[in-house]
Amino acid sequence: AQKVTQAQTEISVVEKEDVTLDCVYETRDTTYYLFWYKQPPSGELVFLIRRNSFDEQNEISGRYSWNFQKSTSSFNFTITASQVVDSAVYFCALTRLNSGGYQKVTFGTGTKLQVIP
């Protein structure tokens, strides 16, 4: 069974502070993908990143960076110099590839980030 744990329910930071959102996952699969999605108050899910289980390189995209550590089953997300527009709920998710090639996604419970101006 797959499981994604986001222990931080809510985080508040002051604008320009850095913030890290934690994600710990469980899976028996050797091949899997990890995602981060952003859900602003409007409700849509915005894709941020996908990482496969064979690629442990950290990634940076602008103010966003991700730290994937297979040894600790973690895929943490850091926002540098946070902005008010970063306020949203962030979901970490885990997928496995079925034999048909499509994905079945397990989501964490989400972390609500509030950036205070």
Partner 1 sequence: GAVVSQHPSWVICKSGTSVKIECRSLDFQATTMFWYRQFPKQSLMLMATSNEGSKATYEQGVEKDKFLINHASLTLSTLTVTSAHPEDSSFYICSASREGNSPLHFGNGTRLTVT
Q: Interface with partner 1 by CB under 8 A: which range of 20-28, 57-65, 68-76, 101-109?
A: 101-109
Binder to partner 1 among 3, 104, 114, 116 (CB under 8 A)? 104
CB nearer to partner 1: pick between 14 and 46? 46
Q: Are 81 and 62 in contact, with CB atoms under 8 Å apart?
A: no
Decide: is 62 part of the binding site for partner 1 (CB under 8 A): no
Q: Are 37 and 20 in contact, with CB atoms under 8 Å apart?
A: no
Binder to partner 1 among 35, 75, 77, 90 (CB under 8 A)? 35
Q: Are 113 and 21 in contact, with CB atoms under 8 Å apart?
A: yes
Binder to partner 1 among 28, 30, 43, 61 (CB under 8 A)? 43
Decide: is 72 part of the binding site for partner 1 (CB under 8 A): no
Shortest distance (Å) from residue 32 CB to partner 1: 11
CB nearer to partner 1: pick between 13 and 45? 45
E-strand ranges in the chain read 3-5, 10-14, 19-21, 24-26, 32-39, 46-52, 59-61, 64-69, 74-79, 88-97, 103-107, 111-116
AA letter at 84: V
Q: Which of 22, 27, 28 is nearest to 67 (CA)?
A: 22
Contacts with partner 1, residue ranges (CB under 8 A) = 33, 35, 37, 42-45, 47, 50, 91, 95, 97, 100-110
